């Protein structure tokens, strides 16, 4: 909200009971549209209209898409202005020429006008090719509504301009003027102004390559004299944009929120002085993923009208499940068949389970309390106003995924020192695989897992790389009578190695990458996805890696350097993509790899065998180990490791899959929102691998 205090002429802030969040969701088709969410406390937001648009972008825009919605309550307290960017990235890229001015008296029905800047001001701004992120604020001195936004021409930096709107908010009646003058002539976008203690605080995104982030400038005058404050207002070091400040109802605290666009999340921070901000993410929840939006306090009457219009009983009504026994990321809601499936952790009591449904405001549910799900689905009735729906709710113990949250590329070892298993995954859930740290998890039985915390943080522990922490591998090695743990990891598309005395770290990086360049003669691909293997026959250890090519090399006894002249480039065939995994059983060396792209639902695992750790490979005619199972909603099953229960012929495969049930509908984002699963791996008498059926239930004990 641009100016909370400008609303007070309509009455005291205590008249406002809740918050309206207006936002868009992404750059893809249908995502560049205005959406609504409600919150009763300013921290927990629930999408209206099943997270679908409340206005058709194609009707109000020239491009077919709208972004960056900013909403303002007018001085009369009853009229609302909204301004949005007229841009459809799918077709236009990041070039556009217009903004849209919108007006409403009920927050439901909107009139709109397109303002094409080059056409409106051909002499002054005929060569403009960016018109971004407009906002509106009431100018108390001139008693007019001022619209401000950023524009760019040629290769010049983006500049924040302003102009005054006409009386009916259908056009601009003054020629745009520069609002903010950057002392470093940096590109500035996403301006947001709030008035506090006699001063105007302008928050904006500084786009200078050496100084990117949310900054603030302050002035006693709305339209001039802004002086830049030192430092960044954003708390995170991740890329951010689209900041917006609003004041909490009946409080002296302000929320500064911003779009962490490369991390796939929003961050909320809190302040009382607009200078020092603390992160409050732990208090925030949303059942949607917003991009650049704004928040407006609303009355109880306005909230009820919005709920009557868009308070749907459906998938978006289910916000969370407050029992610790439900795997919240994997709940399946089927609106077509009116069913809900609750996957339970193994410690749940199916005969006495209270799902503790958390629903969007205005929706109630019966029955309440603990119920017996052991005999099959139960009927739950959900109501809002005069509308009701009854869903069949079932609950079942599912041990896949085995870890809470998003993780991928799992490596697993058994420690003879601690008599436990350890999982070493990629920390997932970051847009574009942008995670920077690694964790480990321990288990006595492959079933119950304990989070042992971060064992290596690129930004703190590695000098030669600080990005793309991917696909680790680990091994326990006894050296001079003492157990050592060697951790091979991908960082910035290179492979490093770190060492520890314990499987839970902390691990100390060697100080330089172990594999930093493509093998001679190899064209294309990346130096990623290490795998480490010790040959039980010779006692020698080997490192494998590669994307689009499979390489292997013998390691020296120190385990942190490679033996010269031992490099081999394998020929696994055209199905090889990445994720080599090597293990030994009954005289055979097994080589596994992943086919296709991790963003593809068809990502799957194949294998070959060899008589040597360095090949050549024998590829069976039917060599698929693991692939999708659409009938159970399981997709993207790949990038695995294999573990043998000590002193037995019991084997398990550890792999990742798309999130179930949302992954298949997430597009490319499914490839960085993955989950770790474990299933049994079995063999035919001739040693060939029996194809693995990925399961929901997973394993409950280590049994033959």
Give DSSP secondary structure letters for 165-187.
B-TTSSSB-S--EE----TT---
Determine the pLDDT at residue 387: 85
What percent of the chain has pLDDT above 70? 98
pLDDT digits 0-9 by tens, 164-183: 999 999 999 999 999 999 99
**462 closest CA partner among 486, 445, 438, 432:** 438
Question: What are residue 54's phi and psi, to 5 degrees?
Answer: -100, -10
Average pLDDT over the chain reads: 95
Determine the pLDDT at residue 541: 98
Let me know: does 1 contact 246? Beta carbons within 8 Å: yes
What is the average pLDDT across 118-138? 97
Determine the pLDDT at residue 6: 38
Determine the pLDDT at residue 703: 59
Residue 316's pLDDT band (boundaries 50, 70, 90)?
confident
pLDDT digits 0-9 by tens, 347-399: 999 999 999 998 887 889 999 999 999 999 999 999 987 789 999 999 999 99
Note every long-range contact of 382-388, with CB atoms under 8 Å and residues 24 or more positions apart, other chains counting. 382/313, 382/317, 383/313, 384/307, 384/311, 384/313, 385/307, 385/308, 385/311, 387/313, 388/313
Q: Is the peptide bond before 401 cis (omega within 30 degrees of 0)?
A: yes
pLDDT digits 0-9 by tens, 400-415: 999 999 999 999 999 9
Say if residue 281's pLDDT is above 50. Answer: yes
Determine the pLDDT at residue 226: 98
E strands within 492-623?
Answer: 494-500, 508-509, 531-534, 541-545, 551-554, 568-569, 578-585, 588-595, 604-610
Let me know: does 394 contact 410? Beta carbons within 8 Å: no
Determine the pLDDT at residue 287: 84
| Partners of 391 in the β-ladder | 380
Say if residue 79's pLDDT is above 90. Answer: yes
Question: Is residue 521 packed enough to be buried (19+ CB in 10 Å), middle (13-18) or exposed (0-12)?
Answer: exposed
Determine the pLDDT at residue 9: 36
Torsional class of 630: left (φ above 0), alpha (ψ -120 to 50), beta (otherwise): alpha
Reported residue count of the chain is 704
What the chain holds in terms of domains, given with CATH numbers, is 16-310 (2.115.10.20), 315-397 (2.60.40.2340), 407-690 (2.115.10.20)
Output the CA–CA distances (angstroms, integers) from residue 315 to 302, 406, 633, 661, 678, in the order listed.
Answer: 23, 21, 17, 12, 29
In the DSSP assignment, the letter for residue 143 is: T
Q: Is the peptide bond before 616 cis (omega within 30 degrees of 0)?
A: yes
Determine the pLDDT at residue 386: 77
Determine the pLDDT at residue 10: 38
| Partners of 543 in the β-ladder | 532, 553
What is the average pLDDT across 447-457? 97
pLDDT digits 0-9 by tens, 181-204: 999 999 999 999 999 999 999 999
DSSP string covering 425-455: EEE--STTS---EEEEEEESSSSS-EEEEEE
Determine the pLDDT at residue 13: 56
Residue 30's pLDDT band (boundaries 50, 70, 90)?
very high
What is the average pLDDT across 660-678? 96
**180 closest CA partner among 220, 226, 243:** 226
Q: Is the peptide bond before 506 cis (omega within 30 degrees of 0)?
A: yes
Question: What are residue 638's phi and psi, to 5 degrees?
Answer: -170, -165
Say if residue 489's pLDDT is above 50. Answer: yes
Q: In what order do the strands lie in the sheet with 128-139?
A: 128-139, 144-153, 159-164, 177-178
Three-state DSSP at 89 gives: helix
Q: Answer whether 0.85 is exceeded by the pTM.
A: no
Q: Are strands 437-443 and 420-427 parallel, antiparallel or unpaired?
A: antiparallel
pLDDT digits 0-9 by tens, 528-545: 999 999 999 999 999 999
**413 closest CA partner among 552, 173, 583:** 583
Say if residue 247's pLDDT is above 70. Answer: yes
């Amino acid at each position: 909200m641009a100016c909370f205090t400008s609303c007070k002429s309509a009455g005291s802030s205590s008249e406002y009971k809740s918050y309206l969040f207006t936002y868009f969701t992404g750059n893809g088709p249908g995502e560049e549209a205005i959406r609504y969410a409600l919150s009763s406390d300013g921290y927990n937001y629930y999408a209206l209209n099943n997270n679908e648009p409340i206005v058709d972008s194609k009707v109000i825009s020239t491009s077919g898409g709208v972004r960056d919605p900013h909403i303002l309550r007018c001085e009369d307290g009853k009229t609302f202005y909204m301004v949005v960017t007229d841009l459809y990235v799918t077709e236009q890229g990041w070039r556009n020429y217009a903004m849209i001015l919108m007006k409403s008296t009920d927050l439901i029905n909107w009139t709109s006008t397109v303002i094409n800047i080059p056409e409106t001001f051909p002499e002054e701004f005929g060569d403009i090719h960016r018109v971004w992120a407009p906002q509106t604020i009431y100018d108390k001195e001139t008693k007019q509504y001022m619209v401000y936004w950023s524009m760019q021409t040629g290769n010049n930096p983006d500049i924040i301009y302003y102009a005054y709107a006409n009386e009916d908010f259908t056009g601009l009646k003054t020629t745009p003027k520069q609002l903010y003058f950057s002392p470093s002539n940096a590109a500035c976008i996403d301006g947001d102004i709030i008035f506090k203690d006699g001063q105007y605080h302008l928050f904006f995104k500084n786009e200078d390559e050496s100084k990117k982030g949310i900054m603030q400038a302050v002035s006693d005058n709305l339209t001039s004299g802004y002086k830049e404050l030192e430092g960044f207002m954003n708390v995170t070091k991740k890329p951010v944009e689209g900041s917006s400040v609003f004041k909490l109802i009946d409080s002296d605290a302000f929320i500064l929120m911003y779009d962490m666009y490369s991390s796939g999340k929003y961050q909320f921070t809190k302040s009382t002085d607009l200078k020092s901000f603390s992160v409050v993410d732990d208090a925030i929840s949303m059942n949607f993923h917003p991009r650049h939006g704004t928040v407006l306090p609303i009355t109880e009457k306005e909230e009820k009208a919005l709920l009557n219009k868009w308070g749907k009983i459906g998938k978006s009504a289910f916000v969370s499940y407050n029992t610790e026994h439900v795997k919240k990321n994997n709940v399946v809601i089927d609106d077509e068949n009116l069913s809900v499936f609750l996957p339970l952790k193994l410690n749940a009591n199916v005969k006495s389970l209270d799902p503790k449904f958390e629903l969007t405001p205005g929706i109630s549910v019966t029955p309440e309390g603990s119920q017996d799900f052991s005999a099959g689905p139960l009927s739950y009735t959900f109501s809002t106003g005069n509308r009701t729906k009854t869903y069949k709710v079932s609950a079942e113990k599912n041990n896949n995924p085995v870890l809470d949250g998003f993780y991928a590329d799992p490596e697993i070892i058994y420690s003879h020192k601690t008599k436990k298993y350890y999982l070493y995954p990629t920390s997932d859930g970051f847009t574009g695989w942008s995670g920077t740290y690694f964790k480990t998890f321990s288990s006595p039985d492959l079933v119950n897992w304990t989070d042992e915390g971060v064992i290596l943080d690129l930004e703190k522990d590695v000098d030669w790389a600080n990005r793309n922490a991917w696909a680790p591998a680990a091994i326990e090695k006894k050296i001079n009578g003492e157990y050592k743990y060697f951790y091979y990891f991908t960082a910035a598309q290179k492979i490093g190695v770190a060492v520890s005395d314990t499987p839970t770290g902390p691990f100390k990086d060697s100080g330089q990458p172990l594999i930093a360049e493509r093998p001679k003669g190899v064209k294309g691909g990346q130096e990623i996805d290490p795998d480490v293997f010790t040959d039980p026959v010779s006692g020698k250890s080997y490192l494998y890696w590669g994307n689009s090519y499979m390489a292997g090399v013998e390691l020296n006894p120190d385990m942190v350097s490679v033996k010269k002249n031992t490099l081999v480039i394998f020929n696994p065939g055209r199905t090889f993509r990445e994720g080599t995994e090597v293990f030994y059983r009954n005289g055979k060396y097994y080589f596994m790899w992943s086919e296709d792209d991790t963003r593809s639902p068809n990502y799957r695992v194949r294998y070959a065998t060899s008589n040597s750790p360095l090949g050549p490979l024998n590829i069976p005619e039917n060599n698929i180990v693991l692939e999708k199972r659409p009938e159970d909603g399981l997709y993207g099953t790949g990038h695995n490791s294999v573990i043998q229960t000590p002193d037995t012929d019991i084997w398990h495969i550890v792999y990742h899959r798309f999130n179930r049930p949302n992954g298949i509908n997430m597009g490319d984002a499914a490839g960085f929102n993955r989950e770790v699963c474990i299933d049994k791996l079995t063999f035919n008498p001739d040693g060939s691998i029996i194809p693995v059926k990925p399961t929901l239930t997973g394993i409950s004990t280590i049994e033959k």
